[in-house]
């Protein structure tokens, strides 16, 4: 099972996303503004903005907030000038960690992220050290109780998905980023509510962690996700489902 889909699903189950809604709104607003800045304010001609707006709506963000975020990105309203870049590092057991950063102060953010790695059993790495281990994919996680494998397979493949994986308690659907929206829409039209749906960096392989290394890795992920300038945390750890639920509890 992939560390990403396990972690995303457990956070969903435990209501962690709702508990941190303020931070989620902040991160989604940053993504909308940057997408609008780079590709324009029309979602019909800006796929990244379209995806960001869909994520905002999934979090029940008010339409006015979305509109203002777009206008700040296009310059119609004054706003903070965010910079986006990636940071890379290692966790316990040599696990790869790739971070998507949006910040208004690169030096401050890099310093704080380096501290978070060091305090939680990891270390920063040079650019390119781990990014080659990942490739960008649309990742849709749905509970097995929501659909039979053959039925879901037909729905997602017809919509343009690349693969359907058995991820223990869930189905994991992988898509090319360009086809992500169409597949998510097809899944929802079939009456299936995804536990999570986002464009992420999927690792080529996974490292199994146990015992103290597993506990330390979860602590590191939590610390990185808590940082306001971290948009996404990608990693190639694999942890036993029961243990993950215990340490995430």
The pLDDT score that the predictor gives to residue 222 is 87
Number of domains in the chain: 3
The pLDDT score that the predictor gives to residue 110 is 97
Q: What is the pLDDT of residues 206-243, one digit of tens each?
A: 899 988 998 899 899 989 988 989 988 999 998 877 77
Of 122 and 4, more confident:
122
Question: Cβ distance 62 to 134 under 8 Å?
Answer: no
Burial level of 205, CB count in 10 A (0-12/13-18/19+)? exposed
**Judgement on whether residues 153 and 184 belong to the same structural domain of the protein:** yes
pLDDT tier for residue 45 given thresholds of 50, 70 and 90? very high
Residues 6+ apart with CB under 8 A from 244: 6, 7, 10, 214, 218
Q: Choose among 163, 158, 164: nearest CA to 189.
A: 158
Reply yes or no on whether the pLDDT at 248 is more than 80. Answer: no
**Judgement on whether residues 164 and 226 belong to the same structural domain of the protein:** no
Helix extents (H) in 42-192: 47-58, 63-74, 106-119, 149-159, 180-189
Residues 1, 241: Cα–Cα separation, whole Å = 9
Q: Choose among 136, 143, 233, 131: nearest CA to 179.
A: 136
Which of the 8 DSSP states describes residue 146? G
Three state DSSP letters for 201-224: EEECCCEEECHHHHHHHHHHHHHH
The region of weakest confidence among 20-24, 61-65, 128-132, 187-191 is: 20-24
CATH number for the domain that contains residue 111: 3.30.70.980
Reply yes or no on whether the pLDDT at 155 is more than 90. Answer: yes
The pLDDT score that the predictor gives to residue 18 is 47
Q: Mean of the pLDDT values across residues 157-173? A: 88
Query: Can you read off the two tokens belonging to residue 89?
Result: 């590092």
Reply yes or no on whether the pLDDT at 171 is more than 70. Answer: yes
Domain span at 56: 3-74
CATH number for the domain that contains residue 42: 1.10.10.200
Burial level of 149, CB count in 10 A (0-12/13-18/19+)? exposed
Q: Mean of the pLDDT values across residues 24-45? A: 89
**Judgement on whether residues 120 and 221 belong to the same structural domain of the protein:** yes
Reply yes or no on whether the pLDDT at 88 is more than 90. Answer: yes
Average pLDDT, the chain: 86
Residues 207, 217: Cα–Cα separation, whole Å = 11
Q: What is the pLDDT of residues 112-154, one digit of tens each?
A: 999 999 999 999 999 999 999 999 988 888 888 888 999 999 9
25: part of which helix (H) or strand (E)? helix 21-39
Q: Mean of the pLDDT values across residues 73-89? A: 88
Question: Cβ distance 60 to 106 under 8 Å?
Answer: no
**Judgement on whether residues 117 and 228 belong to the same structural domain of the protein:** yes
């Amino acid at each position: 099972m992939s560390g990403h889909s396990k972690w995303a699903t457990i956070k969903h189950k435990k209501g962690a996303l709702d508990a941190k809604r303020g931070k989620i709104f902040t991160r989604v607003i940053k993504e909308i503004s940057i997408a609008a800045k780079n590709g324009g304010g029309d979602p019909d001609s800006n796929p990244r903005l379209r995806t960001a707006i869909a994520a905002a709506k999934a979090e029940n963000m008010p339409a006015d907030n979305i509109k203002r975020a777009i206008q700040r990105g296009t310059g119609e309203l004054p706003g903070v000038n965010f910079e986006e870049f990636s940071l890379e590092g290692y966790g316990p057991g040599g696990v790869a960690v790739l971070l998507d950063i949006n910040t208004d102060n690169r030096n401050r953010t890099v310093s704080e992220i380096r501290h978070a790695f060091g305090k939680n059993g990891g270390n920063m790495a040079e650019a390119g050290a781990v990014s080659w281990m990942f490739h960008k994919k649309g990742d849709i996680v749905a509970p097995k109780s929501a659909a039979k494998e053959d039925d879901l397979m037909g729905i997602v493949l017809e919509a343009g998905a690349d693969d359907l994986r058995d991820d223990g308690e869930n189905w994991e659907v992988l898509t090319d980023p360009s086809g992500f929206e169409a597949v998510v829409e097809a899944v929802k039209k079939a009456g299936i509510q995804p536990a999570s749906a986002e464009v992420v960096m999927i690792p080529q392989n996974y490292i199994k962690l146990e015992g103290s290394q597993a506990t330390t890795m979860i602590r590191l992920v939590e610390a990185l996700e808590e940082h306001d300038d971290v948009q996404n945390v990608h990693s190639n750890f694999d942890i036993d489902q029961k243990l993950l639920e215990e340490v995430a509890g």
